[in-house]
Chains A and B, each alone.
Chain A
Amino acid sequence: MLKVRVIPCLDVKDGRVVKGVQFVDLRDAGDPVEAARAYDAAGADELTFLDITASHENRGTILDVVRRTAEQCFMPLTVGGGVRTVDDVRTLLHAGADKVSINTAAVNRRAFVGEAAEKFGEQCIVVAIDAKKVSQPGEENRWEIFTHGGRNPTGIDAIQYAREVVDLGAGEILLTSMDRDGTGQGFDCALTRAVADAVHVPVIASGGVGILDHLVEGIRDGGASAVLAASIFHFGTFTVREAKDRLAEAGLPVRLD
């Protein structure tokens, strides 16, 4: 039986993790490769690097991180952040990423998703969707795509957009609720469910995990195939194993290898 996936996410800036992993003794908690190894050992099902490097000159730093991680961690690795061209995708895949996540570039030009999927296969193209609820209380739920960390509205309906990018060749959707991100209040399960029901590809729920029951809700109520979290793992609030044990207690299939 296919297992639900638990995916820690590391924000990387100029080749260093922004929130250092603090649950194990690392020589260098800011080294993404050490963090990746720790999560590999902890039983993470995949790992996601989000490159938030701002300056163009330092954008190459993520490639070295990916290369060194792929040499040591024999688990799937997704890399996102600043992916704008087919060449960006190719460079990351060749460095050792298994999947590349596209965000703003797809919002700006939908066809990019199709070009990347055609070139490298749907299985390695993830489209990251940052969505915010825009409907008023009492209205039917409606979510809109936001860019630039939730600051810029686009007027694009999130569900419609998800359908569109999947039709173009996205093999997976990484769905972040900008309302919940960083709040610890749990996923926006209505949003997750609406997207998961709208597309035939797996959906990763992201944004808002504070306690382990939130992970259960993302899968059970949201219909997600995988759950992504950052802080609860980095700060050692919960281990990956504890997360999986809770999912298992709730009757969800997990990998405990």
Chain B
Amino acid sequence: MTVAIIDYNSGNLHSAAKAMERAAQSLAHDAGQTVIVTSDPEVVRTADRVVLPGVGAFADCRAGLDAVPGMVEAMTEAVKGRGRPFLGICVGLQLLAERGLEHGVTEGLGWIRGEVDRITPNDPTLKIPHMGWNTLEIAREHPLLAGIPTGASGLHAYFVHSYHLKPADGIDLLATTDYGGTITAAVARENVAGTQFHPEKSQTLGLALLANFLKWHP
């Protein structure tokens, strides 16, 4: 079993890979998952699971992804063609949208209907980026969030972002967080999922979510 973490020159893949390895080690009954950081479309095409991290601006990340020849096609084949479980992290989630509105309009992958727009808290004193630890509210039960304490007294996830995906289909929303209004925290549709927060930086909650992803059989 291979988990491909897509390397398209977008920041810190090291911690995503290490956190995924740690999560894999916690799964005694589902062991033998090999985590590979790769920019090779062939590895992505044949992977059992695909992870798309991403930090920075939407347009830059999209350009970075397009700059790896054959990568979008390979992802599409693995995920849409072969039904492999997919996890987007932060801008990796945002890229699932139809379009991003950060510094102009940029086309996304269109795997989740909706747009990525700037956070506009109803309290003008709230700082942007939304940076730090926040709790999750479940919008829809999902295997990715199984066993994770949520709600005001639940575990915290680490966020750092100024934009978020607004799903056009409410059913795609898995979890939200509150920051002067409702912010998208996690989405999923069929075998495609994403988190706006950074599971690889979210300690207990993050490792639990990554373990859930490795066990997920959509």
Binding site for B on A (CB under 8 A): 1-5, 40, 45, 67, 70-72, 74-76, 93-98, 118-124, 171-172, 200-203, 225-226, 255, 257
B12 pairs with A225, CB closer than 8 A: no
Q: Which 4 A-B pairs have the closest CB atoms?
A: A121-B56, A255-B133, A123-B160, A202-B127
- Establish whether residues A124 and B179, one from each chain, have CB atoms under 8 Å apart when the complex forms: no
Whether A2 pairs with B201 at a CB distance below 8 angstroms is no
**Judging by beta carbons under 8 Å apart, are B203 and A257 in contact?**
yes
Which B residue sits closest to A43, measured CB to CB?
B203
Contact of A75 among B18, B91, B179, B203 (CB under 8 A): B203
In the bound complex, CA of A71 to CA of B14 (Å): 8
B194 on the interface (CB 8 Å rule)? Answer: no
A200 to chain B, nearest CB (A): 6
Contact yes or no, A257 B156, CB < 8 A: yes
Asked whether A202 and B14 contact (CB < 8 A) given A74-B207, A75-B203, the answer is no
Measured between beta carbons, the chain B residues less than 8 angstroms from A203 are: 127
Q: Assess the A94–B12 pair: CB atoms within 8 A.
A: yes
Interface residues of B in 150-196 (CB under 8 A from A): 152, 155-156, 158-162, 178-179
7 residue pairs from A and B, CB less than 8 Å apart: A3-B132, A5-B132, A74-B200, A98-B201, A120-B56, A225-B132, A257-B155
CA gap between A168 and B19 in the complex, in Å:
32
Partner of B11, one of A71, A124, A171, A255: A124
For the complex, give the distance between the alpha carbons of A171 and B203 in Å. Answer: 23
Which of B132, B134, B155, B198 lies at the interface centre, i.e. has the most chain A CB atoms within 10 A of its CB? B132
**Chain B contacts of A124 at CB under 8 A?**
11, 55-56, 160
